[in-house]
Amino acid sequence: MNIKHVAKLANLPLTHHEEEKYSEQLSKILKYIEQLNQVDTSDVEPTFNVSGQENVISEDKIGECLDWKEGFFKTKGVFNNE
Amino acid sequence: MSDLTSLTLVQTIKALQDKQFSEEELNKAYLDRINSLDPKLNIFLEKKKNTRGIPAAIKDVIVTKNIKTTAGSKILSNFIPPYNATVVEKLLEQDISILGKTNCDEFAMGSSGENSAFGPTKNPWDLTKVPGGTSSGSAVAVASDSCVFALGSDTGGSIRQPASLCGVVGLKPSYSRVSRYGLIAAVSSFDTIGPITKSVDDAALVLDWISGSDNFDSNCKNEKFTFRPRGLEAGIKGLKVGIPKEYFGEGLEASVKKVIEDAIKKLEQLGAEIVEVSLPHSQYALAAYYILNPSEISSNMGRYDGIRFGSDRQDFGEEVKRRIMLGTFALSSGYYDDYFAKAAKVRTLVKQDFEKAFTSVDVIVGPVSPTTAWNLGEKIDDPLTMYLQDIYTISANLAGIPGLSVPCGFVDSLPVGLQILGKQFDEETILKVGIAFEQATDWKKEKPKL
């Protein structure tokens, strides 16, 4: 992993000490993650949302709205309490 | 009444109805208690003085109108939200008062409670030990009787693991059972909010209050969970309890294993049928999680750009920076298929493991954590060892299923929790098992000496 390049992509200012430390720690973590390659996923679809639902939306009904008259909405006065 | 802070939520409601004490006396008792305990435990980041309502503690990743909300981060150290999270609105409707905001690992990243910018919370059973994380303050608040109940959040085990290490009940609902609106986003496809309580009944009641549809979270399920005390007390005779052999192998401390095996025997005595099951992809779950989690985090942390919330990005804590780096790398050009896409496919396999197992059993039972609470500072410099502490909890987050941690014993005076996992949206059955176990044992009567 090119630490300086990734830090730039992440817009993350790192000190020299942090760059060295993360280099070492992240390669250890990535080494652990490499075991994913042992799993055969050739016929497997990825999962991005486990809820089993999509776009839960509320009922389509008319709620409270402003009165309408001669092409204009009627609202309360803005500058005084008419 | 001198010990009113030891009452459960259900008992507190009953006592208030019977006028054994007033809401004002209740709030004062808790406030007095946290004023004496908080200096040594470091539970609360903000405290509120109330005279009404039932006092609850809210994890500081959940926004509260006009009450400072930091997510345990220096970056949000001055953030005062202009609105309440949906769960907070729902609790206020039930006459709950917010006693305070609880300490946690920064943006809910960690396993020990030590990643807070405001210092670690201490385990009330032994002040030299970690309380677990990331809902560290919420678990300790409940364990030390510093609130009636608390809300936490669980992305990879952050409710169940600290509940286990502190000897209290923790419930992670199914993903999308509870609205995430107002939960400061960490890992959006994993994040859940749930209760940490003094009894399983209490957890069921709080889930009833906070679950259900919300126009502000379009991934939130319309059907709420309904608390039916009689239904839950029906017993577990004939219920099939699956024991995954993968959860009892290498890495599980022998003393913890013994306590869990005794708990399983108890379930058998109560009439449950014990069945061995297999979750073959468990060994890959952690690796998949530590790609998907940092990837979503690196994206969600993008909003702290120094413009909208103030503070520079160098103010992120060490663990947050580490995950932003890991996630940015996994999503970067040329690596996406090898890491993120691969992990998302392994996630499918982990989910299918559970679906298959649940065709033959009603719940799956095992340890929450491979060890009891460890020493403060012991694992903080070794991120991979720290990640391995989540080995038994993260699979449930990958699959979106509910999980419960119930106190089931001690090892060297430190609590151990039993994990009960259920089918997606079947919180009722895991709560039923939890209640049967709780009623047949005396573990919930044990309190830390403070």
pLDDT at A52: 87
A10 contact residues in B (CB cutoff 8 A): 298, 324-325, 328
Q: Count CB atoms within 10 A of the CB of residue B104.
A: 34
B311 contact residues in A (CB cutoff 8 A): none
Q: Give me the number of domains chain A comprises.
A: 1
Q: Kindly state whether residue B289 falls inside one of the protein's structural domains.
A: yes
pLDDT at A68: 85
pLDDT at B1: 47
Query: Where do we find the tokens 């959940």?
Result: B62
| Domain extent for A16 | 3-38
In Å, how far are B46, B155, B354, B393 from B112, measured between CA atoms? 21, 14, 27, 14
Query: Where do we find the tokens 């106190």?
Result: B407
Q: Kindly state whether residue A23 falls inside one of the protein's structural domains.
A: yes
The pTM score is 0.95
Q: Is the pLDDT of residue A82 over 80?
A: no
Q: Kindly state whether residue B450 falls inside one of the protein's structural domains.
A: no
> Is B316's CB within 8 Å of A45's CB?
no
Exposed e or buried b per residue across A65-79, where buried means at least 16 C-beta atoms within 10 angstroms of its C-beta: eeeeeeeeeeeeeee
> Is A52's CB within 8 Å of B424's CB?
yes
pLDDT at A63: 84
Tens digit of each residue's pLDDT (9 = 90 or more) over A3-20? 999 999 999 999 999 999
Q: Kindly state whether residue A66 falls inside one of the protein's structural domains.
A: no
Q: Give me the number of domains chain B comprises.
A: 1
> Is A18's CB within 8 Å of B321's CB?
yes
| Domain extent for B20 | 2-445
In Å, how far are B196, B260, B371, B426 from B411, measured between CA atoms? 22, 11, 9, 31
Q: Kindly state whether residue A46 falls inside one of the protein's structural domains.
A: no
CA dihedral B256, B260, B263, B265 (to 10 degrees): -120
The CATH number linked to B339 is 3.90.1300.10
Q: Kindly state whether residue A43 falls inside one of the protein's structural domains.
A: no
List per-block mean pLDDT (blocks of 10 residues) for chain B, which spans 450 residues.
86 97 97 96 97 97 98 96 98 97 98 97 98 97 98 98 98 97 97 98 98 92 89 88 95 96 97 97 95 97 91 94 97 93 97 98 98 95 89 97 98 98 97 96 93
Interface predicted TM-score (ipTM): 0.88
> Is B313's CB within 8 Å of A38's CB?
no
> Is B384's CB within 8 Å of A10's CB?
no
pLDDT at A81: 61
Q: Considering CB atoms only, which of B213, B321, B329 is closest to A1?
A: B329
Tens digit of each residue's pLDDT (9 = 90 or more) over A46-75? 999 999 888 877 778 888 888 888 888 888
CA distance B320 to chain A (A): 11
Q: Kindly state whether residue A20 falls inside one of the protein's structural domains.
A: yes
